[in-house]
Chains A and B, each alone.
Chain A
């Protein structure tokens, strides 16, 4: 990895063409606007309409709060939400990192040993047909109420897209590149590290972006199956008390975490895979 990252970050080009790739501040701001303005406007329209309809129809707050009520609640309930958010954030981040390391590791292992791949690949697909919801209570019985069962659930959910994308990426390398490397004295390890792994990075990041959106679901599942802290627990505890606004506030927190994780993965992709132009579909 260190090799690929060093390659990816060093040496900005000094060729004239790079002038176009280094825009001034104003164009940078303009591109930000172009990228984020449409979704921001759409969100604002939706939120506005929600506010208006709920107010005009006099829907009681315990059935459906208005966005402004949720915003106010985020502030008043912050002492409850903040510790819960930190707990869930930790579960999500740790679980995601575990799944990324294990996923990339397994993808490399299966790629290097085709016999193992043929044996394990069908089992990997098969394992995905088991609904995690069914496993969650068993994990709680096995591992208790702490962070462990949540990590296992988050990692299990995130793991799959990373492994599958990783294997596909490693296998889709141009065969001529490998032949070229063989004529240049490359060992198996050199081919993996200088050709196959960098070539698979865009795929691996695609898998991680999918996984980033799954991670929050996993953490909440885990907490619903048995816990006494976290955003999932806050939602569960708020339900019998009809604290609907607090549930919505927790959902907002979860959404922000998921978006931030997605953004972080996209940012890492931009840093480590600058040569692949596809990168972020939001551009």
Chain B
């Protein structure tokens, strides 16, 4: 947690990535300040996931500079980022609580300690009764909540969310968005969220970066940093939100 509040948590400068003949990303520049939330929207196949994997240190960029906090190398970035994948990827042989606690165990804590540290979050975020449930016994929304808590329990300052609710139906999705907003207010983190849903990006982030089709480049940056008050429905239908959404959709269409 070193550094000042306005320090950059993630910085990308002219990052490019090519797979064989396919140019996935063409010169992306982007910065995310500490404990802010940035959404990335773009058409599918536009290199959004590639971008996240580069930030996470799972991939190395061909050219350009990538920094996450004070780390520049892929290996160090991997140690500073927690990535939540689109599929929940819960381990069927672990209970919900043990799935969420796995990062702590990976860091050498005993099973009991890892559980004790994870349990308060379960209670706080409405999963209290499901600690000992197996993933197969949980609904899609619940599984995604456990997956999110697992990412949170990695206790890293940077969260990378890759289409976190892409596989959910729209009702569950709306509930999850509210739930995540609550969680993020309670446990502040730097968040980079990738989605193809403009509304989701505007709702969950303070700034939205619109990417073009492949090869991906930044076509618009929208600030949605005014506090939206009220219920999700009130926010989504407010004039300010609707005009932002139109701007984003226009940028996507161009």
Chain A interface (Cβ < 8 Å from any Cβ of B): 4, 6-8, 10-15, 17-18, 174, 176-177, 179-187, 190, 194-195, 198, 273, 275-276
Contacts and interface: CB of A to CB of B under 8 A. Distances in A.
Contacts of A4: 93
Interface in B10-36: none
Interface residues of B, number: 32
Nearest to B150: A184
Interface string B86-108: 01010111110010001101110
Contact of A275 (B78, B129, B134): B134
A183 to B, nearest CB: 4
Given A184-B102, A185-B79, 6 more contacts: A6-B111, A7-B93, A15-B137, A183-B56, A186-B106, A198-B93
B125 interface: no
Nearest to A181: B106
A181 B111 CA distance: 16
A172 B151 CA distance: 24
Contacts of B105: 190, 194
A279 to B, nearest CB: 13
A233 B212 CA distance: 79
A12 B93 CA distance: 12
B91 A195 contact: yes
A194 B102 contact: yes
Given A177-B89, A179-B58, A194-B91, A11 B79 contact: no
A198 B135 CA distance: 15
Nearest to B138: A15
- Which of B82, B89, B107, B111 has the most chain A CB atoms closer than 10 A to its own CB? B89
B103 A7 contact: no
B81 interface: yes
B133 interface: yes
Contacts of B82: 183-184
Interface string B52-95: 00001010000000000000000000110111010101011111
Given A180-B89, A185-B106, A198-B91, A13 B133 contact: yes
B137 A183 contact: no
B102 A182 contact: no
A198 B92 CA distance: 9
A13 B94 CA distance: 11
Nearest to B153: A184
Nearest to A16: B137
Contacts of A182: 58, 78
B132 interface: yes
Given A182-B58, A275-B134, A190 B87 contact: no
Given A13-B137, A190-B106, A194-B105, A275 B87 contact: no
Contacts of B154: 183-185
B154 to A, nearest CB: 5
Closest 5 CB pairs of A and B: A184-B103, A11-B132, A183-B83, A275-B92, A186-B106
